[in-house]
Structure 1
Amino acid sequence: MPLRSGPARARWALSLVLALGAGSAVAAPPAEPAPKKKLPLLFARALGIVTSTVAQTEPQPLPRPATSGFALLPDPLVEAELAARHAEAPSIGARVDAVTRGFVGAPYLLSALGEGEGTAPDPDPRFRLDAFDCTTLVETALALAQTPDLEEAAALLDLVRYRGPPEFEHRRHLMTSQWIPGLVAEGWLEDITAELGGAKTRTLDLELTDERWSKRHIARALVLPDDVVPKGKFPLPYLTLQDALRLERSIPQGTVLNVVRADWPASPDAVTHQGIVVLHPGDPRRFVRHASPVSRRVIDEPLAQMLERYITRPRKWAVIGVNLLRVRE
């Protein structure tokens, strides 16, 4: 749940949140060190929260506060601010953008959510607003875009993250075979890649078999019962980086953007990073709001800059494009 603080700090934080909601950059007190947590890197990649298997070049985000405004507020003030943003947002996409402005500056924390205290193997809280990885940021956004009530949002977050009870084995660990098809089937998301790309849309067909799962190098630390490991063919529409760059300004506000890599038999997934496409007042460009493991915080980065970085700096495990999902009411 949001971090607690005294009245004076809460008043300052509320002014910060309101400023962020208007899209302005404001000064912030010195950031506290990002929380650290040890988790096997290969496991992290299986969760879709690592952007590269090789060294990365630091993105150039816009100047933003070094801590999250929402994380500094007591729950009643967070709910009041969320309710105001819900009332002002004309569409679900605008709400996704508005409610996540309070995340900007929050520390990056690998595998920020789990199944709760006292559970194994991941005892992290099931709901929090003080730290994110790329996937938990998107998941929390889906919940908060539906309701400003934090208790209701926590319940909705469980529905987003799990297919069944909130237990590790029922979590949607794999983006291509569990997370995306599951949330599309349940009505949370709609794939709009082909709607935007038309004839230029391509499809990656990821096939998961017992043999591929047993021989994987990526996600070796992700241990699941055989009966819950997804098997079969999972098509994933995507736009090439170049086509996405040309269409950048037509991508709707609030779209979930998934970074797609080439099919690689050593990995059970093709999506390795996620973010939300957002707008800044008076600026025609699109920005990606994402929890960056390089910047170690949630940032807004120009989408064109992100795409050009993938184009001009090839990776050993090639980034081939992006998949685009609309959040549904």
Structure 2
Amino acid sequence: MKLATTKNYILPVWLMCLSVSHTQAQTPDQFYQLLEQLPHSSYSSEQRMGRISEGFLGALYVDGNLGEGKDGRFDRDPLYRFDVFDCTTYVETVLAGALSSSQETFDSQMRAIRYQDGQVSFVTRNHFASADWLINNQNILRDVTFEVAGEATKQAVTTINKPAWYKAMGVERLQGLPPEVDKTERLRELHRLGSQLKVEQVSTAYVPLTALFNEQGEVNHALLDRIPSGAVISVVRPNYDVTELIGTHLNITHQALAFRIHGTLYLRHASQTQREVVDQDFVEYFSHYLESPSVKGFNVQQPRF
């Protein structure tokens, strides 16, 4: 995720089968038809999430691809789309789809997941995973990090400086506005709104990589088996200092879904490095971060529905 340009900054499966080929981007009609074909009475939430997320494998990664729609004050990118994703918009789309059975219910669920109290505006968007997104979605998610890691669970503590984040924004943050809009004045307005927000200290529970892997790099399979299939996984970088880029520290910089397929746990996510939605072996993915100075673990959220 590009910290200097992303609009979410999260800064902030069960599957019928494992697909290894890239799929074409779904049209809205195809997506809504799929929702109708997955009635809640016949499919579990895990199954619905698996089928929906699988349909987007191979879709392109495009950072900050959603906004407040055609009437947005600051960002007129679409409220949702099905052809491109970043890590958070991918998770949001899958969750909203799994909760829905029609276009109308999907629209409502997507708004509820992306915005505080479902109220669409730039300021009410759940920009920060640790301060907004996870907290405001506890009606559909349950933090099971401690159930996975037990006494090995750690807490990442940081200060999310929202006023400084807003102040660091440039005119490039204003998306899709018509030529007649004075963008300089509109940016000043956005800065003023941000200056009224609070500086927040947040704490994020995480499974440390030292609990998943021992000193020899061997995997703790008992811990791995406790990660629910269909869980939302957030990559934790405790007190990650990106103030020079965006004005604040962070705890979370990436989000994904975990699905167990034929006994193996996979991370399904919109990958910035691979530039598309992919499946990656969960253990292999996190093994690359064992020597990372900033990535220390992951938070686990199980859907309640």
TM-score bucket (shorter structure): 0.7 to 0.9
User: Match of 1:234?
Assistant: 202
What does 1:1-329 align with in structure 2 at a 5 Å threshold? 41-44=3-6, 47-48=9-10, 63-68=20-25, 71=26, 73=27, 75=29, 77-86=30-39, 90-164=43-117, 165-184=119-138, 187-208=139-160, 214=164, 220-221=169-170, 225-226=193-194, 229-244=197-212, 246=220, 247-265=223-241, 266=243, 267-280=248-261, 283-312=262-291, 314-315=292-293, 318-329=294-305
How far apart are 1:295 and its partner, in Å?
1.1
Q: d(CA) in 2 for partners of 1:218 and 1:170? A: 17
Which range moves more in the overlay, 319-328 or 227-236?
227-236
Query: What is the percentage of aligned positions where both structures have the same residue?
Result: 26
Say which is worse superposed, 247-256 or 299-308, in terms of deviation: 247-256
Partner of 1:270, secondary structure, is strand
Query: 1:269 and 1:46, CA in 2 relative to 1: closer, same or farther beyond 3 A?
Result: farther
Aligned to 2:179: none
Query: Secondary structure of the equivalent of 1:152?
Result: helix
- CA change 1:89–1:205 in 2 (3 A) is farther
Q: CA deviation at 1:41?
A: 4.5
For 1:83 and 1:144, locate their aligned partners in 2 and report how far apart those are by CA, in whole Å: 10
- Aligned-residue Cα RMSD (Å) equals 2.9
TM-score (norm 2): 0.78
8 Å Cα contact 2:230/2:257 also seen in 1: yes
> 1:227: Cα distance to partner?
6.2
**Change in 2 beyond 3 A, CA 1:169/1:190:** same
- One-letter code of the match for 1:139? E
Report if aligned partners of 1:204, 1:235 keep a CA contact under 8 Å in 2.
yes
User: 1:145: Cα distance to partner?
Assistant: 0.8
Which one has a larger percent strand, Structure 1 or Structure 2?
Answer: 2
Could you tell me which runs of 5 or more consecutive residues in structure 2 were left unpaired when the two chains were aligned.
13-17, 174-189, 213-218
Would you say how many aligned residue pairs link Structure 1 and Structure 2? Answer: 267
Contact 1:257 1:277 in 2 (8 A): yes
Q: Aligned in 2, Cα 1:97/1:228: closer, same or farther, shift over 3 Å?
A: farther
Distance 1:86 1:286, change over 3 A: farther
